[in-house]
Amino acid sequence: MKKSLIALLLSSVALLSACSASGETKQDAAKAEEIQKIKIGITQIMEHPALDKARESFIEKLKTDGIDAEIIYKNSQGDFSVANTIAQSFMDEKVDLIYAISTPSAQAAKQVTSDVPIVFSAVTDPVQSELEAENITGASDKAPIKTQLELFNKLDKNIKKIGIVYSTSESNSQIQVKQAKEIANELGLEIVDVGVNNINDLPQGIDAMLGKSDAVYMITDNLVANSLQLLTSKTNKAKKILIASYVIDNPESAKSVLLSSGVSYTQFGEKAAEMAEKILKDKVSPSSIPVYYTDESVSYVSMDVAKELGLDENNEVIKNAEKIQ
């Protein structure tokens, strides 16, 4: 009887120990999974269709590739000081990687860390923007300016002065204006540039630019992109050709732009995601991943705007572009 009781007690103890061990194993596994889950901080200077596409396609690409990441998205609403605060907050939240969308966002991230990997997109010139570092790489949206400026005379041989309105606060915009002036001079064209300090100055700046130019070139400027409808409505009303230096991914917005030519920000987001995967999964150093540049270009033409401007549908530029009806 005693032997049976002892055997029963030992069996119960073993069962309880097994249950306890099983419970601990599950808890440990859950903790390990929680610890291993990737945390990515996304900082974006402001919301407009191009930058939004760079963010959305980045997240979608990670999901498609099976990357289970906790995404912390923060937007600085065009305020550079807030961009700095956001970057610092990511350090407090111990993110594994920062995805910085725009030059100011990437510059802010660089200021707060030399250890956490930073992947950027929508940065025109990483070198001149001082975004070269061991922990940084990304996708540049540098436009093929010469090719785009050549489109103006293909659309209208009488165009001599091309207007650019831009934000004086964005270093990437200043770089593009400088490059456009140098290239325009080679092509026998003149750039009429008007800088604005903030969004309140934009309507007057656009009017001043339109009054001095024959056509309009829209560079990758975040302030201007955020006010796309204002620029296109004034330009179309003035019956002047407008060419955007990047693809307008939003169909409704694209209808108001005569010609958008360049690379889609959806592609930039996907390329940035591929870089993030190499860094996080394969433990590749950001400095070993070259910054992505592309010569690929696609053009979209709004047939509604083309008709309003009285342009010939058989024109080489219009004929070879994807049509938006």
Tens digit of pLDDT for each residue in 42-86? 999 998 888 999 999 999 999 999 999 999 999 999 899 999 999
Average pLDDT, the chain: 89
Specify the pLDDT at position 296: 73
Residues whose CB falls within 8 Å of the CB of residue 11, separated by 6 or more in sequence, listed in order: none
User: Can you tell me the distance from the alpha carbon of 275 to that of 139, in angstroms, rounded to the nearest whole number?
Assistant: 9
Closest CA to 173 of 138, 222, 206, 127: 222
Pairing relationship of beta strands 190-196 and 38-44 according to DSSP bridges:
unpaired
Closest CA to 50 of 143, 157, 181: 143
Confidence bin at 25 (pLDDT 50/70/90): low
Confidence bin at 35 (pLDDT 50/70/90): very low
What percent of the chain lies above the pLDDT cut of 70?
89
Q: Can you give the C-alpha Rg of the chain in angstroms?
A: 26
Token duo for residue 110: 């660089």
Confidence bin at 7 (pLDDT 50/70/90): low
Stated pTM of the model: 0.79
Specify the pLDDT at position 187: 96
The Cβ of residue 173 has, within 10 Å, a number of other Cβ atoms equal to 24
Specify the pLDDT at position 247: 82
Q: What's the angle, vertex CA 270, arms to CA 264 and CA 273, rounded to 5?
A: 145
User: Can you tell me the distance from the alpha carbon of 249 to that of 66, in angstroms, rounded to the nearest whole number?
Assistant: 25
Which of 25-39, 166-180, 193-207, 241-255 is least confident?
25-39
Specify the pLDDT at position 249: 73
270-318 confidence digits (pLDDT tens): 999 999 999 999 999 999 999 999 877 788 999 999 999 999 999 999 9
Backbone φ/ψ region at 188: left (φ over 0), alpha (ψ -120 to 50), beta: left
**CATH class of the domain comprising 38-141+265-288:** alpha beta
pLDDT, greater one: 172 or 237? 237
The whole-number average pLDDT for the span 184-207 is 96
User: Can you tell me the distance from the alpha carbon of 231 to that of 215, in angstroms, rounded to the nearest whole number?
Assistant: 12
Residue 31 pLDDT greater than 90, yes or no: no
250-264 confidence digits (pLDDT tens): 777 888 999 998 878
pLDDT, greater one: 35 or 117? 117
210-245 confidence digits (pLDDT tens): 999 999 999 999 899 989 999 999 999 999 999 999
User: Can you tell me the distance from the alpha carbon of 317 to that of 322, in angstroms, rounded to the nearest whole number?
Assistant: 10
Residue 20 pLDDT greater than 70, yes or no: no
What is the location of CATH 3.40.50.2300 in the chain?
A: 38-141+265-288, 145-263+297-323
Specify the pLDDT at position 252: 77
The whole-number average pLDDT for the span 194-214 is 96
User: Looking at domain 145-263+297-323, what is its CATH homologous superfamily?
Assistant: Response regulator (3.40.50.2300)
The whole-number average pLDDT for the span 159-180 is 94
Confidence bin at 4 (pLDDT 50/70/90): low
DSSP 200: G
C-alpha distances (whole Å) from 241 to each of 188, 204, 209 are 18, 19, 13
Residues whose CB falls within 8 Å of the CB of residue 204, separated by 6 or more in sequence, listed in order: 196
Specify the pLDDT at position 97: 98
